[in-house]
Structure 1
Amino acid sequence: MTPDHAALQLWPVAASASAVEADELILAFTVLTLVLTVPVFIAITWFALRYREGSEADRSPSGIRSNLIEISWMLIPFLLTLVFFVWGARLFIDSKNPPPDAMVVEVIGRQWMWKFQHPTGQSEINNLHLPIGQPIKLRIISQDVIHALYLPAVRMQVAALPDRYTEMWFKADKVGTFHLYCSEYCGSDHSVMGGKLTLMNPGDYQDWLVHAGAQQGVVAAGRALYEAYGCASCHEPGSPVKAPSLAGLYGSKVALADGRSVVADDDWLRQKILNPNGDKLAGGGKQVMPSFAGRIPEDELNKIVDFIKAYPRPGQSAEATR
């Protein structure tokens, strides 16, 4: 993380009208809080110094009493804070009532990635492309534990719960690329469960759907899943975990601990991912890879196998699999 990373900025860019209004509410309430509290602390400090022990003071009753002053300093702050309550309640109610023409995007959270599916069928992993000027409703669920989808640019955060759908909606008005995060601790790789929110002009979004979205290669999709499931942290060159290299693995003969050898074909790769302990490899290495049985859908498993099949051989450029 660099010093100019968006997560370290004092105030992230606002990419919707509701985000701007939320900022105004927070800033206005902060100013009100300071106006009401700073004079009190200044007075406390002044009186503590002015009338500290040993200082002379006339403590005889002054005889001055004003019910108007007493009522005013209670009633005025109450009415001011009530204004902010109504303001915040209106924003909350608006955030829970999407317009009927909102475009629905399905969102699935799982350890440790986000999967987004557009109404026309295109899907993305850890990246979300959306048009500006169009109400967007995200319909969110978790496949395993509790997550939380956080979009700082639109000032929204919603829990992703197992077996229960939650929703958020917004209408972006600023083109750009922004961060998205999981803001609920969900396991050892919680910190890497993030991605990019790309807001585009409607014409550019339609072009993306036709080209980049619809024609995303199977291998590229497999690479995204390979990285999202954490495979790259062990199997990439230079990893501190000495996992077997995938370079040239597909179609080669693999020596097993029981003396047999097998060909690393599609079926063997699938079984090795689902049940890593089924065929222990020769060499005496410690088996640390977790089982993905029940954790990875069949369509995603096939994409990962396709990526392994195309994994660059030694000396081949990695760009071939992107």
Structure 2
Amino acid sequence: MTDEISLLPPAASSVAGHTDALFYSLAGFSTAIAAALALLAVAFCIRYRRGSRASRQGARRHANGLEWAWTIAPMTVFLGLFAWGAYDYARLTRPPADAVPVLAVAKQWVWTLQHADGRREINELHVPLGRPVRLLMTSQDVIHSFFVPAFRIKQDVLPGRYTSLWFTPTRAGTYHLLCAEYCGTDHAAMVGGIVVMPPERFAQWLQEGDRGPSLARLGMRLFRDSGCAGCHNPQSSVHAPDLRQLFGRRVFMQDGSQRVADETYLRDSIVEPRKDIVAGYEPIMPSYAGQLDEEQIGALVQYLRSGAAPEESP
């Protein structure tokens, strides 16, 4: 891990500098207001202490101009800081289209991470320098929290749903990966590292070591072996939705509502098929909850996200 000693960990991602600037601005403004109020309080206590010769004649009960000033000025600054933070947060919710995909499954008490090409890692994630990386995350048991201090990013990882997080590393090295949510007895041992490598070295690393089939290919096998193709194949006699090019489309439900077919919708359709019934179809699909683990569900989602037809190889 990095050995630098500073007020904050080294800034090693594209958002770290923006986050630090916001933090220092908020801390600095709050400190300035607190210091001004403390100095005024001390000055008034000394000047107007009992027995002092300070004149108390003609004291005003109200100073409207001053009251408006000390109300509006700090409020304007804090609203500006809020808008600044909201803008930075909104950017974190929109990953670049070319982000490197990684599936992360949290368990007591390890991080399981799998690259799209099938390379798997435990408590360590290798990523390319200067390339955006998007994590699709879920938990197999309790609430965890994916925290990389050097990147200034943290995201809760929840059982039963997907959360996502993206970052662009800007400095090569190895950085702490922590769980920031108490998750049981060995919570403190749930640590790992993010290894940032030059792109050419990362490409070489991907080719080294053992790896299974890609996530999309594994999902294709599960789609076939779990019986999904029997209903969702366009030539099937069963009346089931066509899943080709489904990801990102707007889906209309029987109750008149609409949903965008993102990763969460695809996962819900696998484990809770009766939660949202597509308009024009009967609720006949069985639930796969308990039959597939989170890594298998993630592979199925990746396969459907790839847009391949049920009978095609991605």
| Cα displacement (A) at 1:18 | 0.8
In 1, the alpha carbon distance for the partners of 2:78 and 2:209 equals: 49
In 2, the alpha carbon distance for the partners of 1:146 and 1:64 equals: 54
In 1, the alpha carbon distance for the partners of 2:62 and 2:182 equals: 55
Per-residue displacement from partner, 1:34-74 (whole Å, max 9, x unpaired)?
A: 22221110111222233233334322224697544332222
Using the aligned pairs only, state the percent identity: 36
Q: Is the 8 A contact 2:127 2:196 kept in 1?
A: yes
Aligned positions of 1:179-190 closer than 5 A: 179-190=176-187
In structure 2, the partner of 1:39 is 36
In structure 1, the partner of 2:19 is 22
Higher relative contact order (CA 8 A, sep 6+): 2
Q: Is the 8 A contact 1:6 1:179 kept in 2?
A: no
Residue 50 (str. 1) matches residue 47 (str. 2): yes
User: Post-superposition, which runs of at least 4 consecutive aligned residues in structure 1 deviate over 6 A?
Assistant: 4-8
Aligned positions of 1:1-322 closer than 5 A: 10-62=7-59, 67-212=64-209, 214=211
| Cα displacement (A) at 1:174 | 1.1
**Pair 1:105–1:214, CA change in 2 (3 A):** same
Per-residue displacement from partner, 1:82-131 (whole Å, max 9, x unpaired)?
A: 21111100011111111222111000111111010001100000011001
Per-residue displacement from partner, 1:170-219 (whole Å, max 9, x unpaired)?
A: 1111111110001111111111100111111111100111114649xxxx
Q: Amino acid of the residue matched to residue 48 of structure 1? A: C
TM-score after normalising by structure 1: 0.62
**Pair 1:18–1:6, CA change in 2 (3 A):** same
In 2, the alpha carbon distance for the partners of 1:140 and 1:168 equals: 8
In 2, the alpha carbon distance for the partners of 1:58 and 1:192 equals: 65
Which structure 2 segments of 5+ residues have no match? 213-290, 297-314
Q: Which has the larger radius of gyration?
A: 1
**Pair 1:63–1:188, CA change in 2 (3 A):** closer
Q: Is the 8 A contact 2:2 2:175 kept in 1?
A: no
TM-score after normalising by structure 2: 0.63
Q: Amino acid of the residue matched to residue 33 of structure 1? A: S
RMSD between aligned alpha carbons? 2.8
Q: Tell me the number of residue pairs that the alignment of Structure 1 and Structure 2 aligns.
A: 217
Q: Is the 8 A contact 2:144 2:158 kept in 1?
A: yes
Which structure 1 segments of 5+ residues have no match? 216-293, 300-322
